[in-house]
Amino acid sequence: MSQDILIRKEGRAGRITLNRPKALNALTWDMCLKIDAALKDWADDGDVALVLIDGAGERAFCAGGDIAAMYRTGTAGDYDFGRRFWADEYRMNARMAEFSKPVVSFLHGFTMGGGVGVGCHGSHRIVGESAKLAMPECGIGLVPDVGGSLILSRAPGRLGEYLGMTGTRMGPGDAIHTGFADRYMPEEGWQALKAELCLSGDCAAVEHAAEAPPDSPLAARQAAIDAHFHGETLRDILSSLRADGSDFARETLEAMAKGSPLSMGCAVEMIRRLRPRATIRDALAQEYRFTFRAMEHGDFLEGIRAAIIDKDRSPRWSHDPDHLGEEDVAAMLAPLGDDALHFGEEGQG
């Protein structure tokens, strides 16, 4: 078994520990497949009462996906590697969200991108004081994916659009306010809670251990966010922010200036489409329409080059934000026909 991920049974719990602390527990394709296989095994295992997921090291639960391999293959003209990676990852995300037994995740440090797909679809999502959650994909030419677009669509007001387009990091109070987490507990008590969950297999222990979360700074900004992000397109939102001379508007425009206009425009449309009653499969299938095209027709490879490879932080995006057309967004989100994401068996466990 790969040491990048530790999968075992401990008492009444099926345990998954992401174990790449030097890489901030970034998810590889192999790790996604192993998580999916474990969930399949545990669905009908009477010894497993719940699933417990955590991350090794002090800095991150999981800071995202391992995108270096996607860059190498994509720049060589091989788009199939990334497409298959995303398809398998999204199927795992669906299985996690639909799992028939409680799934308890302990989200410390960075929980971003692919980490949201593993840690934020379970039934009991615990954050501690070090939690920093975000969906920063627009900054690398992608869109909020791994089912994150569904969570964004369910966030209060227009926080989903704001978080998806700016990649703003959320502390524990924000994560609970926006629906990325459920309970707050100081991290010094986590080991004892994990031991109790493994021993009893009873998630009531989570409720007993939870404490009142810190305040949410985003909640305090809700009115301003709703006012500016109610527009239907990227251009609408930018126009609203530009007409406002407040510090909030200036800071938000600076954050959005770093993102791919094509990605931000698609993110807005995706979140809109998912309201009000979409499922996890609806969200993942729509996300896959974009990611399937992201290397060949989007800004993903350029975003990775600028952020990870050359690190010049000066991406040359394919579109100007003021001239992004509805047809550009529609082309990235059009149905894929035979290439559409499929989930295999109807029951995900």
pLDDT cut 90: percent of the chain above it: 96
Q: Nearest CA to 271 among 246, 237, 305?
A: 237
Q: What letter would DSSP give residue 54? A: E
> What residues does 111 pair with on adjacent strands?
62, 133
The pTM score is: 0.96
145 is an active site residue:
yes
For residue 349, pLDDT beyond 80: no
Which pLDDT tens digit goes with each residue over 301-333? 999 999 999 999 999 999 999 999 999 999 999
114 is an active site residue:
yes
Strand 13-18 relative to strand 5-10, pairing: antiparallel
Strand 103-107 relative to strand 124-127, pairing: parallel
For residue 346, pLDDT beyond 70: no
Which pLDDT tens digit goes with each residue over 139-171? 999 999 999 999 999 999 999 999 999 999 999
Q: Which of 54, 137, 269, 287 is catalytic?
A: 137
**Alpha helix (H) residue ranges in 54-105:** 68-75, 80-97
CATH match of 5-339 with 3.30.70.260: no
Mean pLDDT of 127-140: 98
In this prediction, residue 348 carries a pLDDT of 45
Mean pLDDT of 41-65: 97
Average of per-residue pLDDT values in the chain: 96
Q: Which of 4, 66, 89, 145 is catalytic?
A: 145
In this prediction, residue 1 carries a pLDDT of 45
In this prediction, residue 66 carries a pLDDT of 85
CA-to-CA dists, residue 186 to 5, 172, 316, angstroms? 25, 10, 42
pLDDT category, 347, cuts 50, 70, 90?
very low
Q: What letter would DSSP give residue 28? A: P
Which pLDDT tens digit goes with each residue over 213-242? 999 999 999 999 999 999 999 999 999 999
d(CA 92, CA 82): 15
Q: Nearest CA to 299 among 45, 113, 19, 74?
A: 74
- Please enumerate in sequence order all residues whose Cβ is within 8 A of that of 25, keeping only pairs 6 or more positions apart, or say none: 18, 19, 55, 56, 57, 60, 61, 62, 63, 115
In this prediction, residue 345 carries a pLDDT of 62
pLDDT cut 70: percent of the chain above it: 98
Q: Where are the domains of the chain?
A: 5-339
65 is an active site residue:
yes
What backbone torsions phi and psi does residue 94 show, to the nearest 5 degrees? -65, -45
Q: Which of 65, 74, 122, 179 is catalytic?
A: 65
pLDDT category, 136, cuts 50, 70, 90?
very high
137 is an active site residue:
yes
End-to-end CA distance of the chain: 23
Which pLDDT tens digit goes with each residue over 263-276? 999 999 999 999 98
